[in-house]
């Protein structure tokens, strides 16, 4: 996972929540996040595919939340943007003759999966409304 996808998605959703149903342009969102609008549009496409955001095309177009912020679970947002394991993967093949090397990758996978599940469980206890309340 690109380490910036979750914070960008959460920033977008928080701004859309603050807009209270008004349509917000990708240029405005990009200006707040300080990233290229193309990155914002790509993330909005993903958020739309997962049912968090809806968009209006054309002049005066933009995006808005597809559902109430209290119905948007942060664990689900994280899962919508995570493409690979948070702690990565071991790239090389260790020596299969080594008692550690021949088993390390399977044990790392177990360790990493447990850590990621703990992160998802923690995030799942929070909603976008909870997060957005920090900015009031």
Q: Along the 136 residues of the chain, how does pLDDT read in single tens digits?
A: 456 899 999 999 999 999 999 999 999 999 999 999 999 999 999 999 999 999 998 888 999 999 999 999 999 999 999 876 566 666 778 898 999 998 988 898 899 889 989 999 999 999 999 999 999 8
Q: Name the pTM for this structure.
A: 0.86
Q: Of the candidates 62, 60, 58, which has an alpha carbon nearest to the alpha carbon of residue 47?
A: 62
Backbone torsion region of residue 99, taken as left when φ is above 0, otherwise alpha when ψ lies between -120 and 50, otherwise beta? alpha
Q: What is residue 70's predicted lDDT score, i.e. its pLDDT?
A: 98
Please give the helix or strand (H or E) that residue 62 lies within, else none: strand 62-65
| DSSP H helix total and E strand total for the chain | 6, 2
Q: What is residue 135's predicted lDDT score, i.e. its pLDDT?
A: 93
Q: What is residue 89's predicted lDDT score, i.e. its pLDDT?
A: 62
- Alpha-carbon distance of 29 to 35, in angstroms, equals 9
**How many other CB atoms are there within 10 angstroms of residue 120's CB atom?**
17
Give backbone dihedrals phi and psi of 62, rounded to 5 degrees, phi first.
Answer: 165, -155
Contact at 8 Å (CB) between 16 and 129? no
Q: Of the candidates 58, 73, 60, 54, which has an alpha carbon nearest to the alpha carbon of residue 16?
A: 54
Q: What is residue 68's predicted lDDT score, i.e. its pLDDT?
A: 97
């Amino acid at each position: 996972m690109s380490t910036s996808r979750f914070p960008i998605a959460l920033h977008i959703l928080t701004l859309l929540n603050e807009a209270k149903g008004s349509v917000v342009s990708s240029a405005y969102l990009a200006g707040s996040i300080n990233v290229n609008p193309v990155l914002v549009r790509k993330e909005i496409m993903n958020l739309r595919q997962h049912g968090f955001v809806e968009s209006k095309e054309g002049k005066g177009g933009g995006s808005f939340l597809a559902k109430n912020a209290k119905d948007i679970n942060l664990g689900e947002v994280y899962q919508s943007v995570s493409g690979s394991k948070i702690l990565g993967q071991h790239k090389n093949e260790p020596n299969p003759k080594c008692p550690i090397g021949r088993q390390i990758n399977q044990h790392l996978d177990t360790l990493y999966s447990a850590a990621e599940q703990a992160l998802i469980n923690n995030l799942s206890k929070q909603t976008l409304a909870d997060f957005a309340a920090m900015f009031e």
